Structure formats: structure tokens, C-alpha cells
């Protein structure tokens, strides 16, 4: 999720779940070919397992960027064929690539030939008003022949014209049955589902039909949900986490990032503002961690203020 799942967000989410696979923001091939590679690819070793999501369509550039991702230590390379924004379309990548499965297959093959780590694809079930199952079935079939064994499927169409990215997450109807059918038709492939999944019960239901579930905005806005994932979905012992312990680790991380890279704590704290959702005092806690007037304070001092009793009027 562009501008959301940066390395600071991923560090925070990894404190909550040790086993969930994390994904970077989409990084364009142009940004890596012509820009600051370290700025885009630097991450904390504690984030593993973590996948690098690429946006692009030129096979040679995709292969080059996949090699960079492998060299930097990522566990997977993911090609985005699901983003519907017009800005992305102008760059000839994202959901518009679903109309060109041959080009996607060429890019996937170039990456598979270039790296030893898995190459995966994230996509929609269709584009615009094309609602035929055959469209997505043929897309998956063609791309899988190029060497992709894992598909993460957002169970909505992407409307390339007339809807904003936000509307594209809400207006086209969810059609989970099409993703389930993909798993039935391609049992040898790993099929994960995405879109509109916000509860433990919904995840469990989907896992009866597919191999995995990707959760985006719900995990971001209600991050404490992640704290149960390892024990509920991965069979791991409960960590005994507390929100306060996670917040303390984040405050220490903010202090380290400020010393090592000059990163303002506010640019990191924004990712954890949902940590206390539903608890008494959550609104004031968010206000303190969002207060830029406190930017000169050490993060531990900000944390103390966030938990301080509210002064009572005389």
C-alpha cells in the first residue's frame, strides 16, 4: 500500500506477528533503475519474511530489479498487476497489465530466470466491466506457464476509468467464488485471496477454499488484530504480547532511527496510531503521538505523556 507499508510500518507489524508474510509498498522499476536504490530497498533484518513488490512491465528492467531485491535480501519478488490508479496506468503497469497476459508472462519469466527466490503476482479478477471468469482463468494459466506458482487475487474487478483508487476498493462487487474456482482449476498453484476481509471468522472461512489470505487496510487501521495471528493461524505458541510492550519497542526503534538516519519520530509513530483502538483514552493517546509540537522530545518522553493522567479541572 503506497505511502503506508514502508519499512517503519513493517517493523511495527513484525512486532505483532512473527510469521505473517509482509509486503513492501509498490516500488517502480524506474525508481530502482534511475533512483536511489538504498532509499527504496533498505529494510530491517527483523522484518523477515518480507516480499518486494515491483511495478513495471519491461522484462529486462523487471529482471534487473528482481536481482536487486534478491541481493538486498528480500524473500520474494511480487509483481503488481492489481493497482488501478490512472497514474500507474500511465506508467504501463498495475491492473492494466491484465489485458496483456503475454507481456506479464514475459516479465515473470525474466524474473524467474534472474533470481532463485519465488516470483509471485498480485492481480484483480478482471478489469472494467469484463466479468467473465474465463478472463482471469486465462490470465493465471498463461502467467503460471512462465514460472509463477503463487497468485494473490483481489476479488474485485479494477475499473480503469471512472473510479478513484478508493472507489475501486469499494464499488466493484466482491466475488470470492471466482477466486475459489481458480484454486479448483489450478490445484497445483498457491492461491491467496484479498479484499474486504476484516475478521478472524472471515479469514478462517476463506482458508477452507484457498491457500492464504492477504489483509491490507484492516491490518493497518486495527493492528492489534495481528497479535493473535501466530497462535490462531500459524499454530505458534502465544507470545503474551501487550500493547504497552509493543509501544515501548517502537519508542526505542524511533530513537534508534533518529540517531542513525535522522528520521523524525512522527513519521514512524503515524503507523501505530490504531494500536489502542477501542480502549479508554485511545483518542488522547493518538493526539499525543500525533502532536508535532512534541517533535523535539525523546520518544520515551512522548510515550510517558501519552499515558499520563489527564489533569482535572479545579
C-alpha triplet 167, 169, 170: angle, nearest 5°: 65
Helices (H) and strands (E) in the chain, counts: 16, 7
Classify burial at 153, counting beta carbons within 10 Å of its beta carbon; exposed 0-12, middle 13-18, buried 19 or more: buried
DSSP lists the bridge partners of residue 27 as 54
Element (H, E) at 26: strand 22-28
Please give the backbone phi and psi of residue 126, each rounded to the nearest 5 degrees, phi first. 180, 175
Which residues, other chains included, contact 291 with Cβ-Cβ below 8 Å and sequence gap of 6+? none
H-assigned helices in 207-242: 217-221, 229-233
Cα 100 to the chain's mean position, in Å?
24
* Cis peptide bond upstream of 49, omega within 30: yes
Q: Per the residue annotation, which of 9, 65, 81, 83 is the catalytic one?
A: 83
Place of cell 527466490: 117
Give the Cβ contact number of residue 68 at 10 Å.
22
- Whether the CA torsion 164, 4, 237, 149 is positive or negative: it is positive
- Distance in angstroms (rounded) separating the CA atoms of residues 289 and 295: 9
**Pairing of β 119-127 and β 150-158:** parallel
- Distance in angstroms (rounded) separating the CA atoms of residues 256 and 272: 17
83 annotated active-site: yes
Active site residues: 83
Amino acid at each position: 500500500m503506497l505511502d503506508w507499508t514502508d519499512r517503519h510500518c513493517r517493523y511495527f507489524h513484525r512486532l505483532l506477528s512473527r510469521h505473517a508474510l509482509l509486503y513492501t509498498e509498490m516500488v517502480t522499476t524506474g525508481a530502482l533503475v534511475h533512483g536511489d536504490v538504498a532509499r527504496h530497498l533498505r529494510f530491517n533484518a527483523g522484518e523477515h519474511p518480507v516480499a518486494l513488490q515491483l511495478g513495471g512491465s519491461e522484462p529486462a528492467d523487471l529482471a534487473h530489479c528482481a536481482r536487486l531485491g534478491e541481493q538486498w535480501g528480500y524473500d520474494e519478488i511480487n509483481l503488481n498487476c492489481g493497482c488501478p490508479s490512472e497514474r500507474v496506468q500511465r506508467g504501463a503497469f498495475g491492473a492494466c497489465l491484465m489485458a496483456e497476459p503475454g507481456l506479464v508472462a514475459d516479465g515473470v519469466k525474466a524474473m524467474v530466470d534472474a533470481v532463485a527466490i519465488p516470483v509471485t503476482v498480485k492481480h484483480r479478477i478482471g478489469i472494467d466491466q469484463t466479468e467473465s471468469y474465463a478472463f482471469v482463468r486465462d490470465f493465471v494459466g498463461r502467467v503460471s506457464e512462465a514460472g509463477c506458482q503463487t497468485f494473490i487475487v483481489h476479488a474485485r474487478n479494477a475499473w480503469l476509468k471512472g473510479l478513484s483508487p478508493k472507489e475501486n476498493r469499494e464499488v466493484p462487487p466482491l466475488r470470492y467464488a471466482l477466486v475459489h474456482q481458480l484454486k479448483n482449476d489450478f490445484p497445483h498453484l498457491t492461491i491467496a485471496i484479498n479484499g474486504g476481509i476484516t475478521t478472524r471468522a472471515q479469514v478462517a472461512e476463506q482458508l477452507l477454499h484457498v491457500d492464504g489470505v492477504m489483509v491490507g487496510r484492516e491490518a493497518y487501521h486495527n493492528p492489534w488484530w495481528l497479535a493473535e495471528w501466530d497462535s490462531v493461524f500459524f499454530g505458534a505458541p502465544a507470545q503474551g504480547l501487550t500493547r504497552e510492550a509493543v509501544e515501548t519497542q517502537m519508542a526505542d526503534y524511533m530513537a534508534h532511527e533518529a540517531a542513525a538516519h535522522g528520521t523524525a519520530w512522527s513519521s514512524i509513530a503515524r503507523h501505530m496510531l490504531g494500536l489502542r483502538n477501542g480502549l479508554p483514552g485511545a483518542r488522547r493517546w493518538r493526539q499525543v503521538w500525533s502532536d508535532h509540537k512534541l517533535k523535539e522530545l525523546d520518544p520515551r518522553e512522548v510515550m510517558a505523556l501519552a499515558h499520563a493522567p489527564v489533569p482535572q479541572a479545579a
